[in-house]
């Protein structure tokens, strides 16, 4: 029938995420741009990684590279691009992301392929993509009365939690394998 999986198949979505995360890591490893531009790119990596983690975590065991990356992302939130610890933390994040893309991610994708029917994978993939699309429009419920909607997904303290919260409520059905 299909020679390739539809773009909405969860495994296709996750594989695309892995390629994008790898590309962002490569761009950061090149070390080009001003510290502020590097901070912006790091924030873009964090946002992409959180979106990816929300979709993939249910298929991973506890801990691992995504858990390590989560801790590093939270530390990076409070680090200015001029601080020496910024590059150290960013390097650790890049290493954790690379390990995930190389090891954990493909294992999770393989488990999904084996454990879920093509129809279920397509349904889950659509839910993930719909949640990502809706998250750009939904204000964080805990911030709506204190922060303008346009500012809710801006980097800064609490950025990882705000990005995660933007995806988790909408993606409620995407997290259960099987």
Whether the Cβ atoms of residue 165 and residue 142 lie closer than 8 Å to each other: yes
Check residue 168 and give its pLDDT. 61
Domain contains 49: yes
Domain contains 63: yes
Domain contains 1: no
* Structure token pair of residue 75: 């530390």
Domain contains 4: no
Could you tell me what percentage of the chain is helix, strand and coil, using 3-state DSSP and rounding each to the nearest 5? Answer: 70, 0, 30
* pLDDT tens track for 38-77: 999 999 999 899 889 888 888 887 778 888 999 999 899 8
Mean per-residue pLDDT of the chain: 80
- Number of folded domains in the chain? 1
Domain contains 5: no
Q: What are the distances in angstroms from CA 116 to CA 113, 122, 158?
A: 6, 10, 34
Check residue 59 and give its pLDDT. 85
Query: What torsion do the CA atoms of 157, 160, 161, 167 make, to the nearest 10 degrees?
Result: 140
Check residue 58 and give its pLDDT. 84
Domain contains 2: no
Domain of 155, in residue numbers: 10-173
């Amino acid at each position: 029938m299909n020679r390739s999986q539809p773009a909405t198949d969860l495994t296709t979505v996750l594989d695309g995420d892995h390629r994008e995360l790898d590309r962002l890591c490569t761009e950061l490893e090149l070390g080009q741009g001003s510290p502020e531009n590097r901070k912006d790119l790091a924030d873009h990596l964090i946002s992409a990684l959180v979106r990816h983690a929300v979709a993939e975590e249910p298929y991973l065991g506890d801990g691992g590279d995504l858990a390590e990356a989560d801790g590093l992302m939270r530390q990076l939130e409070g680090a200015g691009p001029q601080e020496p610890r910024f590059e150290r933390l960013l390097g650790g994040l890049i290493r954790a992301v690379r390990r995930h893309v190389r090891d954990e991610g493909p294992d999770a994708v393989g488990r999904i392929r084996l454990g879920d029917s093509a129809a279920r994978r397509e349904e889950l993939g659509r839910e993930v993509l719909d949640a990502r699309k809706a998250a750009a429009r939904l204000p964080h419920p805990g911030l709506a009365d204190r922060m303008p909607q346009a500012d809710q997904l801006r980097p800064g303290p609490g950025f990882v939690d705000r990005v995660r919260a933007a995806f988790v409520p909408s993606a409620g059905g995407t997290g259960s394998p099987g």
